[in-house]
Amino acid sequence: MKPQIMCEIWRGSYLESVHTGMAVICDKDGEISHQWGDPNALIIPRSSAKMMQAIPLIISGADKKFSIGEDLLALACASHNAAEIHLSRVAGWLSHLGFSDTDLRCGSQPPKDPHVKKEMREKGRSPCQIHNNCSGKHAGFLSVSRHLNAGAEYTDPDHPVQLMVMDVFQELTQNKVHGIVIDGCSAPNPAMPLYSLAKAMSWFATAHKRDDQLSKAALKLRNAMVNYPELVAGERRACTNLMRACEKKAILKTGAEGVFVAILPELEKGIALKIFDGGTRASECAIASLLIQLGVLNPNHPTALAYTHAPILNWRKIETGLMKASNSFKV
């Protein structure tokens, strides 16, 4: 199937660049209702799959044993900015478990939050692992590992925590894992068809209609993310901005290299998309366009316009062009 143009970059009246990709929308039964490109193409979900990686935190009973609240469940699904609201919670979580920064296995990463970055620079401090955007997910892994009395190297693919995670992936997608790669935070990440990722999101979207253990866990995570959008990413980030603009009608999660997913409980649909060149600006534009077309995001909302019809300014703040969703990318 042909690549779909999803995002266009205009300079004046000239089309300067395009971003192509593929996307799948699945209905309540996990069947494809709309597709662009090849739904069976293998992709790596990266951080868009954090909700799936967080399910063992609940089904293992670790959340109850360690009194992990809804805000921390949101952080377990987060790619956060390392703002103070993120750092203080992760630090408190680790302390409650009797762990410290050195017990994390995600690696050190400079914070994205400008205030924290400025303060660290002024004080001559280097980033720690807690500043890693995945530190909430890793605190969740540590919680499961402590609950299971498993070893310290919880990111090893054959560690009991990661074996539970892979079982969840296979159960939710009804598809065997095609291969495992190592993510930027050192956690295993499975290759899967784009369709399988969308199917898993539609499963999350219908979790409230079922009473099994996995679905109850999914509902908890869904509620945590939509109730704490600022913890899932942070200020000026697409996941947070779009969830706020959708007014709890969508649960959203980005992933590196142009992946984005959406859980739409009212419509009982799931979305997964991948931009071929890995461009984040294009994945944000594409997911916002689909949310508008499906009626969960007001097309005139400032946030919607910021991602689907955004002016491009030069260094003198003169408008020179436009980033917009392609008119050919239609549901």
Successive 10-residue mean pLDDT values, the chain, 331 residues: 90 96 97 96 97 98 97 98 98 97 97 95 96 98 97 96 96 84 96 96 98 97 98 97 98 98 98 97 98 98 97 96 95 93
Q: Exposure pattern of 142-176 as b/e (b: 16+ CB <10 Å)?
A: bbbbbbbebeeebbbeebbbbebbbebbeebbebe
**Cα angle vertex 132, ends 126, 133, to 5°?**
140
pLDDT at 134: 98
Instruction: Return the residue matching tokens 């070893």.
Output: 151
pLDDT at 2: 76
pLDDT at 177: 74
| CA torsion, ordered 83, 154, 278, 168, to nearest 10 deg | -110
pLDDT at 157: 96
pLDDT at 174: 83
> Domain limits of the chain?
4-325
pLDDT at 1: 65
pLDDT at 99: 97
> Is the CATH number 3.40.710 carried by domain 4-325?
yes
Separation CA 97–CA 83 (nearest Å): 22
